[in-house]
Amino acid sequence: MTRVTESNLSVVNRQLEQRTPQEIIRWAHEKFGKRLAVLSAMQEAGCTICHMVAQLGLQNDVDVLFVDTGVNFPETLETIERIRREYGLNVISLKPARTMAEQTRDEGVLYLSKEGQKRCCELRKKEPLKQIIGKYDALIGSLRRGEGGKRSSVPVLALDTELNLLRVHPIFNMSREEMEQYIAANNVIVNPLHAQGYPTISCNRCTTPVLPGEPERAGRWRHLENETVYCAINPTDRKREDDGEEEHILMDAETVQRIVDFSI
Protein backbone atom coordinates (compact mmCIF):
# COMPACT_ATOMS: atom_id res chain seq x y z
CA MET A 1 0.00 0.00 0.00
CA THR A 2 1.11 3.58 -0.73
CA ARG A 3 0.93 6.54 1.65
CA VAL A 4 -1.11 9.52 0.46
CA THR A 5 -0.55 12.86 2.21
CA GLU A 6 -1.97 16.34 1.77
CA SER A 7 1.27 17.27 0.03
CA ASN A 8 0.61 14.56 -2.57
CA LEU A 9 -2.76 16.17 -3.29
CA SER A 10 -1.64 19.80 -3.57
CA VAL A 11 -1.12 19.86 -7.34
CA VAL A 12 -4.35 17.99 -8.08
CA ASN A 13 -6.25 20.28 -5.72
CA ARG A 14 -4.99 23.37 -7.52
CA GLN A 15 -6.08 21.91 -10.85
CA LEU A 16 -9.50 20.82 -9.57
CA GLU A 17 -10.16 24.27 -8.13
CA GLN A 18 -10.49 25.51 -11.71
CA ARG A 19 -13.24 23.01 -12.53
CA THR A 20 -17.02 23.03 -12.16
CA PRO A 21 -18.76 20.84 -9.57
CA GLN A 22 -19.97 18.50 -12.32
CA GLU A 23 -16.46 18.18 -13.73
CA ILE A 24 -15.09 17.35 -10.29
CA ILE A 25 -17.76 14.67 -9.76
CA ARG A 26 -17.04 13.21 -13.20
CA TRP A 27 -13.29 13.24 -12.45
CA ALA A 28 -13.86 11.40 -9.16
CA HIS A 29 -16.02 8.80 -10.89
CA GLU A 30 -13.39 8.23 -13.55
CA LYS A 31 -10.72 7.75 -10.88
CA PHE A 32 -12.65 5.64 -8.36
CA GLY A 33 -15.57 4.07 -10.23
CA LYS A 34 -17.88 2.12 -7.92
CA ARG A 35 -15.55 2.77 -4.99
CA LEU A 36 -16.90 6.31 -4.94
CA ALA A 37 -19.96 7.27 -2.87
CA VAL A 38 -21.84 10.38 -1.77
CA LEU A 39 -22.31 11.18 1.92
CA SER A 40 -25.46 13.25 2.42
CA ALA A 41 -27.48 14.40 5.43
CA MET A 42 -30.29 15.38 3.02
CA GLN A 43 -29.81 19.09 3.49
CA GLU A 44 -29.82 21.59 0.60
CA ALA A 45 -26.17 21.13 -0.30
CA GLY A 46 -26.31 17.34 -0.13
CA CYS A 47 -29.48 17.29 -2.23
CA THR A 48 -27.72 19.49 -4.77
CA ILE A 49 -24.93 16.91 -5.00
CA CYS A 50 -27.48 14.10 -5.41
CA HIS A 51 -29.11 15.99 -8.28
CA MET A 52 -25.75 16.49 -10.00
CA VAL A 53 -24.87 12.81 -9.66
CA ALA A 54 -28.23 11.81 -11.13
CA GLN A 55 -27.93 14.34 -13.97
CA LEU A 56 -24.54 12.86 -14.85
CA GLY A 57 -26.15 9.42 -15.13
CA LEU A 58 -24.09 7.85 -12.34
CA GLN A 59 -26.99 6.18 -10.50
CA ASN A 60 -25.71 2.65 -11.13
CA ASP A 61 -22.18 3.36 -9.93
CA VAL A 62 -22.33 5.88 -7.09
CA ASP A 63 -24.08 4.99 -3.83
CA VAL A 64 -25.50 7.67 -1.54
CA LEU A 65 -24.80 7.12 2.16
CA PHE A 66 -27.08 8.50 4.86
CA VAL A 67 -26.27 8.14 8.54
CA ASP A 68 -29.64 7.38 10.11
CA THR A 69 -29.26 8.28 13.76
CA GLY A 70 -32.73 6.98 14.56
CA VAL A 71 -33.85 10.45 15.66
CA ASN A 72 -34.15 12.22 12.31
CA PHE A 73 -37.05 14.48 11.42
CA PRO A 74 -39.84 12.81 9.38
CA GLU A 75 -39.22 15.42 6.66
CA THR A 76 -35.64 14.19 6.30
CA LEU A 77 -36.77 10.58 5.85
CA GLU A 78 -39.37 11.72 3.31
CA THR A 79 -36.62 13.54 1.40
CA ILE A 80 -34.61 10.31 1.22
CA GLU A 81 -37.57 8.48 -0.29
CA ARG A 82 -38.03 11.20 -2.91
CA ILE A 83 -34.31 11.08 -3.79
CA ARG A 84 -34.56 7.31 -4.23
CA ARG A 85 -37.77 7.43 -6.24
CA GLU A 86 -37.24 10.48 -8.43
CA TYR A 87 -33.46 10.41 -8.96
CA GLY A 88 -33.07 6.63 -9.03
CA LEU A 89 -30.19 6.78 -6.57
CA ASN A 90 -29.23 3.92 -4.27
CA VAL A 91 -29.46 5.49 -0.81
CA ILE A 92 -27.90 3.29 1.87
CA SER A 93 -28.83 3.99 5.50
CA LEU A 94 -26.12 3.42 8.08
CA LYS A 95 -27.50 2.88 11.58
CA PRO A 96 -26.07 2.84 15.12
CA ALA A 97 -25.73 -0.41 17.02
CA ARG A 98 -28.42 0.63 19.53
CA THR A 99 -31.68 2.50 19.23
CA MET A 100 -31.90 5.84 21.00
CA ALA A 101 -34.12 4.22 23.65
CA GLU A 102 -31.51 1.51 24.27
CA GLN A 103 -28.69 4.06 24.40
CA THR A 104 -30.64 6.21 26.88
CA ARG A 105 -31.39 3.16 29.02
CA ASP A 106 -27.69 2.28 29.13
CA GLU A 107 -26.05 5.71 29.31
CA GLY A 108 -28.72 8.28 30.12
CA VAL A 109 -29.67 11.33 28.05
CA LEU A 110 -26.25 12.15 26.67
CA TYR A 111 -26.98 15.18 24.53
CA LEU A 112 -27.85 17.45 27.46
CA SER A 113 -24.17 18.17 28.26
CA LYS A 114 -21.23 19.14 26.08
CA GLU A 115 -19.26 15.98 26.83
CA GLY A 116 -22.37 13.84 26.53
CA GLN A 117 -23.13 15.41 23.15
CA LYS A 118 -19.70 14.40 21.88
CA ARG A 119 -20.33 10.85 23.07
CA CYS A 120 -23.79 10.84 21.47
CA CYS A 121 -22.48 12.04 18.09
CA GLU A 122 -19.70 9.48 18.31
CA LEU A 123 -22.19 6.66 18.86
CA ARG A 124 -24.92 7.76 16.49
CA LYS A 125 -22.96 9.42 13.66
CA LYS A 126 -19.29 8.53 13.56
CA GLU A 127 -19.52 4.86 14.58
CA PRO A 128 -22.16 3.94 11.95
CA LEU A 129 -20.04 5.57 9.25
CA LYS A 130 -17.17 3.24 10.11
CA GLN A 131 -19.23 0.42 8.59
CA ILE A 132 -17.98 1.55 5.18
CA ILE A 133 -14.26 1.20 5.92
CA GLY A 134 -12.67 -0.76 3.09
CA LYS A 135 -15.69 -0.45 0.78
CA TYR A 136 -14.93 2.96 -0.75
CA ASP A 137 -11.85 4.96 -1.70
CA ALA A 138 -13.56 8.34 -1.81
CA LEU A 139 -16.65 10.08 -0.43
CA ILE A 140 -18.27 13.07 -2.09
CA GLY A 141 -19.37 15.63 0.48
CA SER A 142 -21.14 18.97 0.32
CA LEU A 143 -18.98 21.31 2.42
CA ARG A 144 -18.67 24.87 1.15
CA ARG A 145 -16.11 27.54 2.00
CA GLY A 146 -18.96 30.03 2.24
CA GLU A 147 -20.12 28.30 5.45
CA GLY A 148 -17.18 29.94 7.21
CA GLY A 149 -15.52 28.72 10.38
CA LYS A 150 -13.40 25.63 9.97
CA ARG A 151 -14.88 25.13 6.50
CA SER A 152 -13.67 28.46 5.12
CA SER A 153 -10.62 26.84 3.54
CA VAL A 154 -11.95 23.36 2.76
CA PRO A 155 -9.96 21.83 -0.15
CA VAL A 156 -11.47 19.94 -3.07
CA LEU A 157 -9.70 16.78 -1.90
CA ALA A 158 -9.09 16.10 1.79
CA LEU A 159 -7.83 13.13 3.75
CA ASP A 160 -10.07 11.16 6.07
CA THR A 161 -7.64 9.20 8.19
CA GLU A 162 -10.37 7.58 10.31
CA LEU A 163 -12.08 6.03 7.27
CA ASN A 164 -8.86 5.74 5.23
CA LEU A 165 -10.26 7.45 2.15
CA LEU A 166 -10.45 10.77 0.35
CA ARG A 167 -13.19 13.32 0.87
CA VAL A 168 -14.20 15.12 -2.34
CA HIS A 169 -15.89 18.54 -2.10
CA PRO A 170 -17.24 19.50 -5.56
CA ILE A 171 -19.20 22.57 -4.40
CA PHE A 172 -16.39 23.89 -2.19
CA ASN A 173 -16.51 27.29 -3.89
CA MET A 174 -20.28 27.60 -4.40
CA SER A 175 -21.86 30.49 -2.53
CA ARG A 176 -25.26 30.14 -0.87
CA GLU A 177 -26.74 32.39 -3.56
CA GLU A 178 -25.29 30.23 -6.32
CA MET A 179 -26.58 27.09 -4.63
CA GLU A 180 -30.06 28.53 -4.26
CA GLN A 181 -30.02 29.58 -7.92
CA TYR A 182 -29.02 26.04 -8.93
CA ILE A 183 -31.79 24.55 -6.78
CA ALA A 184 -34.42 26.88 -8.25
CA ALA A 185 -33.25 26.48 -11.86
CA ASN A 186 -33.19 22.68 -11.63
CA ASN A 187 -36.15 22.14 -9.30
CA VAL A 188 -33.88 20.19 -6.95
CA ILE A 189 -35.56 18.09 -4.27
CA VAL A 190 -34.89 19.75 -0.92
CA ASN A 191 -35.77 18.99 2.67
CA PRO A 192 -39.04 20.84 3.53
CA LEU A 193 -37.56 21.91 6.86
CA HIS A 194 -35.44 24.52 5.08
CA ALA A 195 -38.63 26.45 4.34
CA GLN A 196 -39.56 26.27 8.03
CA GLY A 197 -36.55 28.18 9.34
CA TYR A 198 -33.96 25.41 9.49
CA PRO A 199 -30.85 26.43 7.49
CA THR A 200 -29.06 23.29 8.73
CA ILE A 201 -30.68 20.01 9.74
CA SER A 202 -29.63 17.01 11.77
CA CYS A 203 -31.19 15.09 14.68
CA ASN A 204 -34.54 16.27 16.02
CA ARG A 205 -33.17 16.35 19.58
CA CYS A 206 -30.48 18.93 18.86
CA THR A 207 -31.71 21.04 15.92
CA THR A 208 -33.97 24.07 16.15
CA PRO A 209 -35.08 26.78 13.70
CA VAL A 210 -32.92 29.90 13.37
CA LEU A 211 -34.17 33.45 13.84
CA PRO A 212 -33.46 36.22 11.32
CA GLY A 213 -30.00 37.64 11.93
CA GLU A 214 -28.69 34.56 13.73
CA PRO A 215 -25.76 32.54 12.31
CA GLU A 216 -26.74 29.61 10.09
CA ARG A 217 -25.67 27.05 12.65
CA ALA A 218 -27.23 28.79 15.65
CA GLY A 219 -29.92 26.13 15.72
CA ARG A 220 -27.49 23.28 16.26
CA TRP A 221 -27.11 22.25 19.91
CA ARG A 222 -28.72 25.53 20.97
CA HIS A 223 -29.30 24.09 24.45
CA LEU A 224 -25.53 23.90 24.90
CA GLU A 225 -25.32 27.66 24.23
CA ASN A 226 -23.62 26.97 20.89
CA GLU A 227 -20.42 25.73 22.50
CA THR A 228 -20.69 22.93 19.95
CA VAL A 229 -20.94 23.83 16.27
CA TYR A 230 -19.98 20.58 14.52
CA CYS A 231 -20.57 16.89 15.13
CA ALA A 232 -17.09 16.02 13.73
CA ILE A 233 -18.38 13.55 11.14
CA ASN A 234 -16.36 15.59 8.62
CA PRO A 235 -12.58 15.51 9.12
CA THR A 236 -12.35 19.18 8.14
CA ASP A 237 -14.36 20.01 11.27
CA ARG A 238 -12.20 18.01 13.65
CA LYS A 239 -9.31 19.42 15.65
CA ARG A 240 -6.17 17.47 14.90
CA GLU A 241 -3.51 16.90 17.51
CA ASP A 242 -0.14 17.87 16.05
CA ASP A 243 2.19 14.95 16.70
CA GLY A 244 4.79 16.13 14.20
CA GLU A 245 3.81 13.55 11.56
CA GLU A 246 1.99 14.49 8.38
CA GLU A 247 -1.43 12.88 8.17
CA HIS A 248 -1.83 10.15 5.60
CA ILE A 249 -4.08 7.41 4.30
CA LEU A 250 -3.10 4.17 2.58
CA MET A 251 -4.20 3.25 -0.95
CA ASP A 252 -3.07 0.74 -3.52
CA ALA A 253 -0.38 2.10 -5.83
CA GLU A 254 -2.55 1.93 -8.95
CA THR A 255 -5.27 4.09 -7.42
CA VAL A 256 -2.72 6.63 -6.20
CA GLN A 257 -1.23 6.82 -9.68
CA ARG A 258 -4.65 7.48 -11.18
CA ILE A 259 -5.17 10.35 -8.75
CA VAL A 260 -1.85 12.09 -9.31
CA ASP A 261 -2.01 11.62 -13.10
CA PHE A 262 -4.48 14.46 -13.46
CA SER A 263 -6.87 14.26 -16.38
CA ILE A 264 -10.40 15.48 -16.85
State residue 195's pLDDT score.
96
What mean pLDDT is predicted for residues 169-198?
Answer: 97
Phi then psi for 2, rounded to 5 degrees?
-110, 135
The reply to whether 9 falls in a domain is yes
For the entire predicted model, the pTM comes to 0.92
Would you name the residues annotated as active-site residues? 231
The reply to whether 175 falls in a domain is yes
Q: List alpha helices for the chain, DSSP H.
A: 6-16, 21-32, 44-55, 74-87, 100-107, 114-121, 127-129, 176-186, 253-260
In this prediction, residue 151 has a pLDDT band, given cuts at 50, 70 and 90, of: confident
- Structure confidence by residue, pLDDT tens digits, 215-252: 888 888 888 876 666 777 888 776 665 555 678 899 88
Question: By residue range, what is the domain housing residue 43?
Answer: 2-194
The reply to whether 183 falls in a domain is yes
State residue 237's pLDDT score.
75
Rounded to a whole number of angstroms, the CA Rg of the chain reads 18
Total tally of structural domains belonging to the chain: 1
The reply to whether 43 falls in a domain is yes
State the CATH number of the domain containing residue 181: 3.40.50.620
By three-state DSSP, how is residue 123 classified? Answer: helix
State residue 229's pLDDT score.
66
Residue 23: which residues within 8 A CB-CB, separation 6 or more?
264
Assess whether pLDDT exceeds 90 at residue 254.
no
Phi then psi for 167, rounded to 5 degrees?
-100, 135
The reply to whether 225 falls in a domain is no
Please give the Cα distance from 231 to 253 (Å, whole number): 33
